[in-house]
Structure 1
């Protein structure tokens, strides 16, 4: 912290002294500019302008100061962090130095131990080499002593090897002979075994056959005994049935005698029935012929009915047409009557006397038309058959013709009624 205070004091002295010199220079420049101006208003405006510039510079400097303070705090934190790391590094360095010292001590001890072991091993090696040299000398002496023995033993070994070869050859020949003998014996033994197996199999088969025959005979004996018992039971049962059948046969004979009587009566009834059946067959043939004739008549009647229906339909169509014509004639007649009445009303009275005979037949014809439709129908039929037109172009002529026809028709009807 003391170092920090010293650094801050140095920074203040380094930063403040140039600022003061800069301010003094600015004041002198401002005084010079004010002296150049004549009026106080211009001086005041220049001062205000300068004040505003200084304010902006002051604000900028404050902002920079804040930024620098933040940087300073960051630098202080970094410095503290670096100091802590430096202290840690110093501690680690001290630990490493202590470890290095211990390692050096350990290496020294190891070197001393290695040198001591090397000395001990060198001494041991020298002792071993001296002992080995002594043993080699002893072995050489013993080898020189045993060379003569070895030569003798070698000759003996050669002789023994030749003898062994001869013995081995003899042994191999004997083994071959023994193998042949053993093979021959094995073959004989196999033949004997095969014969024994065949004999044993034959014995087994014979025993099995004997056992089967024995079992079969025992079963047959048991079955024969059982059958004998069953036959005895059947015999008793058959005797009982025989007694029953004898009784039933006697009853059957009695029923036969009765049934013969019934059969005779049945035969007589059958003869009667055959006679009745013959009569019925004759009646059926007769009724069948009648039925066939009636069917034919019915078919003819149906054909006639169809023809009549067709004729009736044609007549109905004609009647409808005639009714239409009659209605048309009636309408024309009514129209003509109206026209005649109108003409009569306009003409003088003298003409009225002449037209009265014409009115009466028209009235009669109207009465006849109102009284009976058959007269008009007949008139229309006569007109159709004759081929004459029912009405002319002149209304007076058509009216006269109609009245005459109506009078003639009414006269004919009265004549027919009188004749009746």
Structure 2
């Protein structure tokens, strides 16, 4: 009789709501690392939802399916959401799972976690309030189920039992509505969490892409830095080799010029000494020639005077010593011939001395030309040294510019690495 009356009572739409509440409860419990719903509570929910004892197998199957589905969904999402919720999880939420002990976390290097923002704190408080509400509703539902079981097991007549059950079910309607509203809010929260998850995944992918681009950019900068360093090294080595070659050439040229200059200097000193000796000889010869000319002039004057005297004497003694005069004339003639021969010899000696002086002048002129040529070569060598020094200064400036570029690229690379570290943190 009681079974037929219970079957005639219109069953409310509580099982669906209770299934949905079980789904939401399982999701919230697994995301907050709480324990699963025990089997006794499932049986009580089934008894409250299906007064008909024949429908126990159907209700348990219906309840187990959504719970399994919710477990699968929560297992998939818990691994991803636990990273986000671990930051905002409070001690009260962790203390809600006394049956299932918490797994020891793997040992990691100590790192400074970022402080939670106001939004995260508000979300944590909201989650705590919702968990408290669900716990209260669960306790209320357990009380209602226990009261319904006690009413069914009581010795009251069937009509009173039916009335009482109807009253209890009507009283349960606002609770089911509250559960429905909670389920809807939880669904909205789940959708919001999924959207947040998608946005976080997108942000993570964008951060990874940015990180990849930064790494590629840093690799390119390091590659360019290495290339610039190699170029600078090769340029410095080439410039060093060129400088060494140029200095070697300059040293060799200077050595040759100095050796030639020393040789020419020695020859010039010898020639100067020879010229001085020749000048002294020429002066001596000139003085000797002048003295001889003076002597010859004196002799000529003396001879003129003697001739005049002879003429006078001849004039006085014309008739007495004609033979003696002839002899004297012959003698004078011979002496005059000797004098003329000595004069010709002195003239020839003077001509030879003049020729030697001319040769010495020619040699001096040639030495002066050689000295001029050596001076020109020395000036050219000095100009080459100046050009090499200017080229060296230009190379130093280019090397300083390359070093400045290298330092700028190094600073840019360090700045990018710092930005990358800041974004990563």
TM-score scaled to structure 2, two decimals? 0.26
TM-score scaled to structure 1, two decimals? 0.27
Larger radius of gyration: 1
Q: Identify the structure with bigger relative contact order (alpha carbons < 8 Å, sequence gap 6+).
A: 2
